[in-house]
């Protein structure tokens, strides 16, 4: 099997400088919005030069386009631009396919559009901690719960400092919750204190099944060891409950200060306290706190058919977006897709993000919402994300096709270190949206699913059709934080959807459900082929329930609990599995429910390392074949080069040809992103 280097390295390198950095307008940190913006740098007399803000450049483009529509380019010089408001681009800021409007980095330079503020004026106490008075915080005009020091995320104080606590006992909903959700639980004596400073600013992060509830403390009874929250969970079903034994963290406790690299924002006093790491100093370190939730808004109006067209952004870094826990807390039933993006689009057509970076966010990086069609996110690096990478489409099913997001592309991107505030977020999420492509990306270091496609549970109407998820390297998913996840996860009736040539590995759930490829409820009409899936907690492939999916020419290796799983027996054909290689060393071949016979397995190659004996859902191979299953399948060593080390090339003489297996290229990253600090502080 031939291996192919993934494109992550290319994402990290700047574009080569253009031969002639000519533009209609220039923006520079040493510019002036009263100047013409026609010069790349100030003239000697400092009477003319570039603009100081991208907003002024946008207005200048609008003015000249109204008189002479044609292609326009704005080049941004290197530097940090602290935005006071998002850059809003409406239909009047559009270009055409042949004459786009381009906002780009000056060749060889790295401009940063920041939603944050660089903090200075620190005072260092005798304890070595840094303190800064922030009047806007004291007045209630600004609050934040993220901080970046020298380009690295810092976290608020938390208890326990390592690992997790566990709910001592469940409590019924209080009368205020009206039985609609849970809003209290019992903790172990001594864990929580009613004497904590600004108790109502303290939050509990309660890990459920595939979600995490972020709840603000309302009151605390130490005598009874009970805590009550300002809000409640979404419901009372088990996966939305606060049962005994569930893990939780306590965040934002002033009394917990002391661990290097943590901070506390005292909203009552308007004071920020930071405990520095060794080697950091107020004079040399760059400290940034976020203000804006969004940096760019492509604001079309699908209802009026008013589109933002053909706007391109190239080589720009977008950084430092805010997100603050609302008074009632933050709870959602899956994937945190109710949250917005640093770059948000509605009614965008033919727009492009190219060779950009989006980093240090409070929520999602990119949100392509209603009416967004034929947009592209290409060769971008999305990293250190509060939520997920790219959202495409909506949760709602729209009858008006013009308002449906479709035909969008995410290609050659690196999406890593996500879910840092919202661990249930996803690398790329596709909702009620069709004809999208996610290709040649590296997606890694998340706490939940890598790519999710579809938003209909069961066999009802779904718009998530003809989506292609191809040649992606998806790795280090879950990491023991949440449960019920997949490297690739699908929902609903999805004819035309293809999962092909993906490399998925190291999927680790907390409890059940760490799967590689996971067709969930109602997944129908999928073609799943040429994928390499290995090192998963639960199984390389699991179908909860669905209809007539085709699973062929894949390699599934080293599932721990099982290799192939199926949950629900149905009256129709669930799936056909043909021409696959399955290799493992522990656990059964087939897990969960294999009752009935509405599935078809044939021409597969199975091998348990060392030639160890195995069965087929409790049956011998002969009994299994008597059911009509795996009649032409083979039990033999596939002769991979070094599968334990991830080398799944076939050696000469491999019996894989006996099942018609076709070797395929596998995407790998030359330097794959390794997990960065986040919720897991016990590894």
pLDDT tens per residue, range 204-239: 999 999 999 999 999 999 999 999 999 999 999 999
In terms of phi and psi (left: phi > 0; alpha: psi -120 to 50; beta: otherwise), the region of 481 is alpha
Residue 324 has, within 13 A of its CA and on its CB side, a CA count of 15
Q: Do residues 135 and 80 share a domain?
A: no
pLDDT at 201: 98
**Mean pLDDT of all residues in 493-503:** 98
Which of 89, 114, 139 is at the close of a domain?
114
* In-domain check, residue 4: no
Count of domains for the chain: 4
In this structure, how many other beta carbons lie within 10 angstroms of the beta carbon of residue 151?
11
445 and 434 housed in the same domain: yes
For 414-430, the pLDDT digits (tens) are 999 999 999 999 999 99
User: Cα 205 from chain centroid?
Assistant: 19
The verdict on 446 and 470 lying in the same domain is yes
Residues 188 and 272 in one domain: no
Domain boundary (85, 114, 143) is at: 114
Mean pLDDT confidence for 518-543: 98
Instruction: Return all residues near 126 (Cβ < 8 A) that are at least 6 apart.
Output: none
Cα separation, 103 vs 509, whole angstroms: 41
The CA distance from 621 to 607, in Å, is 13
In a domain, 562, yes or no: yes
Per-residue pLDDT tens for 430-444? 999 999 999 999 999
- Answer yes or no: do 127 and 146 share one domain: yes
CA 179 to centroid of chain Cα atoms = 32
Handedness of CA 592, 598, 599, 600 (dihedral sign): positive
Q: Is residue 457 part of a domain?
A: yes
Residue 53 lies in a domain: yes
State the residue for tokens 């920041």.
114
Task: Domain of residue 192: give its range.
Answer: 165-254
pTM for this prediction:
0.95
Question: Is residue 373 situated within a structural domain?
Answer: yes
More confident position, 14 or 237:
237
Residue 257's nearest CA partner among 281, 282, 274 is 274
Tell whether the model's pLDDT for residue 101 goes beyond 90: yes
- Asked if 490 and 390 sit in the same domain, the reply is yes
CATH code (residue 389)? 2.160.20
> Do 366 and 243 share a domain, yes or no?
no
Q: What is the mean pLDDT of residues 62-83?
A: 96
In a domain, 306, yes or no: no
Q: Give the tens place of pLDDT for each residue, 114-130.
A: 999 999 999 999 999 99
- The candidate with the shortest Cα–Cα distance to 137, out of 147, 149, 127, 152, is 147
459 with 577, same domain? yes
Mean pLDDT of the chain: 95
- DSSP-assigned states of every residue in 291-353: --S-SEEEE-BGGGTB-EESEEEES-EEE-------TT-B--SSTTTTS-EEEEEESEES-EE
Give the pLDDT confidence score for residue 679 in this predicted structure: 78
Q: What is the CA radius of gyration of the chain?
A: 27
The answer to the question of residue 50 being in a domain is yes
194 near 203, Cβ under 8 Å?
Answer: no
Distance CA 259, CA 275 (A): 7
Token pair recorded at residue 359: 């980093």
Residues 100, 249 within the same domain: no
| Distance from C-alpha of 159 to C-alpha of 165, rounded to nearest angstrom | 8
pLDDT, position 87: 98
pLDDT at residue 273, as a whole number: 98
Report the C-alpha gap between 532 and 145 in whole angstroms.
Answer: 39
3-state secondary structure of 148: strand
Residues 245 and 134 in one domain: no
Is the backbone peptide bond immediately before 477 cis, with ω within 30 degrees of 0? no
Percentage of the residues of the chain whose pLDDT score is greater than 90: 94
Contact 641, 651 (CB under 8 A): yes
Question: What is the side-by-side strand order in the sheet with 341-346?
Answer: 87-89, 296-299, 341-346, 364-368, 390-392, 428-430, 451-453, 485-490, 514-519, 539-543, 564-566, 590-592
pLDDT score of 682 more than 60: no
Let me know if 513 is exposed, middle or buried by CB neighbors in 10 A (0-12, 13-18, 19+).
buried
Cα 547 vs. chain centroid, distance in angstroms? Answer: 28
607/584 Cα distance (integer angstroms): 7
Q: Tell me: do 443 and 341 sit in the same domain.
A: yes
Q: How confident is the model at residue 627 (pLDDT cuts 50, 70, 90)?
A: very high
Residue 317 maps to a domain: yes
Distance CA 152, CA 154 (A): 6
* Count of CB atoms situated within 10 Å of the CB of 508: 18
147 and 243 both lie in a single domain: no
């Amino acid at each position: 099997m031939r291996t192919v280097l993934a494109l992550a390295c290319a994402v990290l390198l700047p574009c080569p400088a253009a031969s002639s950095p000519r533009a209609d307008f220039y923006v520079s940190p040493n510019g002036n919005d009263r100047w013409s913006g026609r010069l790349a740098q100030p003239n000697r007399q400092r009477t003319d030069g570039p603009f100081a803000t991208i907003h002024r450049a946008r207005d200048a483009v609008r003015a000249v386009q109204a008189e002479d529509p044609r292609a326009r380019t704005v080049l941004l010089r290197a530097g940090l631009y602290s935005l006071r408001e998002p850059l809003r681009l409406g239909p009047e800021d559009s270009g055409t396919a042949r004459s786009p409007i381009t906002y780009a980095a000056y060749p060889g330079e790295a401009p940063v559009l920041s939603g944050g503020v660089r903090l200075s004026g620190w005072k260092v106490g005798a304890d070595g901690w840094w303190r800064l008075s922030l009047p806007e915080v004291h007045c209630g005009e600004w609050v934040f719960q993220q901080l970046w020091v020298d380009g690295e995320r810092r976290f608020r104080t938390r208890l326990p400092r390592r690992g997790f606590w566990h709910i001592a006992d469940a409590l019924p909903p209080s009368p205020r919750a009206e039985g609609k959700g849970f809003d209290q639980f019992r903790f172990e004596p001594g864990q929580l204190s009613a004497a904590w400073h600004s108790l109502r600013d303290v939050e509990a992060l309660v890990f459920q099944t595939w979600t995490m509830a972020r709840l603000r403390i309302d009151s605390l009874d130490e005598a009874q060891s009970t805590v009550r929250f300002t809000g409640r969970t979404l419901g009372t079903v088990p996966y939305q409950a606060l049962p005994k034994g569930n893990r939780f963290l306590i965040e934002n406790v002033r009394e917990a200060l002391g661990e290097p690299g943590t901070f506390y924002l005292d909203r009552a006093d308007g004071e920020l306290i930071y405990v520095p790491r060794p080697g950091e100093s107020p004079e040399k370190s760059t400290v940034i706190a976020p203000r804006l939730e969004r940096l760019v808004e492509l604001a079309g109006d699908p209802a009026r058919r008013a589109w933002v067209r053909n706007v391109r952004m190239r080589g720009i870094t977008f950084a430092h977006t805010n997100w603050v826990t609302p008074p009632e807390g933050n709870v959602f039933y899956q994937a945190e897709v109710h949250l917005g993006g640093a770059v948000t689009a509605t009614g965008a057509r033919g727009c492009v993000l190219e060779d950009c970076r989006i980093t240090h966010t409070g929520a999602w990086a990119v949100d392509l919402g209603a009416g967004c069609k034929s947009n592209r996110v290409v060769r971008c690096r999305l990293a250190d994300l509060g939520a997920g990478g790219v959202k495409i489409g909506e949760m709602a099913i729209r009858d008006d096709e013009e308002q449906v997001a479709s035909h969008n592309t995410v290609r050659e991107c690196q999406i890593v270190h996500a879910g840092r505030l919202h661990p249930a977020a996803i690398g790329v999420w596709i909702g009620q949206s069709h004809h999208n492509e996610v290709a040649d990306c590296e997606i890694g270091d998340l706490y939940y699913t890598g790519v999710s496609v579809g938003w209909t549970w069961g066999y009802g109407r779904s718009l998530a059709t003809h989506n292609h998820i191809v040649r992606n390297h998806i790795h280090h998913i879950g990491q023991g934080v949440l449960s019920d996840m997949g490297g690739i996860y699908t929902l609903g009736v999805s004819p035309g959807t293809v999962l092909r040539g993906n490399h998925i590995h190291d999927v680790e759930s907390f409890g059940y459900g760490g799967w590689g490829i996971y067709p969930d409820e109602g997944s129908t009409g999928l073609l799943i082929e040429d994928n390499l899936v290995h090192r998963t907690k639960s199984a390389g492939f699991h179908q909860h329930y669905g209809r007539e999916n085709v699973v062929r020419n894949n390699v599934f290796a080293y599932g721990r609990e099982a290799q192939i799983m199926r949950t629900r027996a149905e009256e129709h054909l669930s799936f056909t599995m043909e021409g696959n290689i399955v290799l493992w060393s522990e656990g059964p071949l087939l897990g969960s429910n294999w009752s009935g016979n509405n599935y078809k397995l044939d021409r597969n190659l199975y091998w348990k390392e060392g030639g160890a004996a195995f069965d087929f859902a409790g049956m011998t191979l002969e009994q299994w074949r008597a059911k009509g299953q795996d009649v032409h399948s083979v039990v033999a060593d596939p002769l991979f080069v070094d599968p334990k080390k991830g080398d799944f090339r076939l050696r000469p003489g491999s019996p894989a040809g006996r099942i018609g297996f076709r070797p395929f290229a596998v995407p790998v990253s030359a330097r794959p992103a390794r997990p960065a600090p986040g919720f897991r502080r016990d590894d």
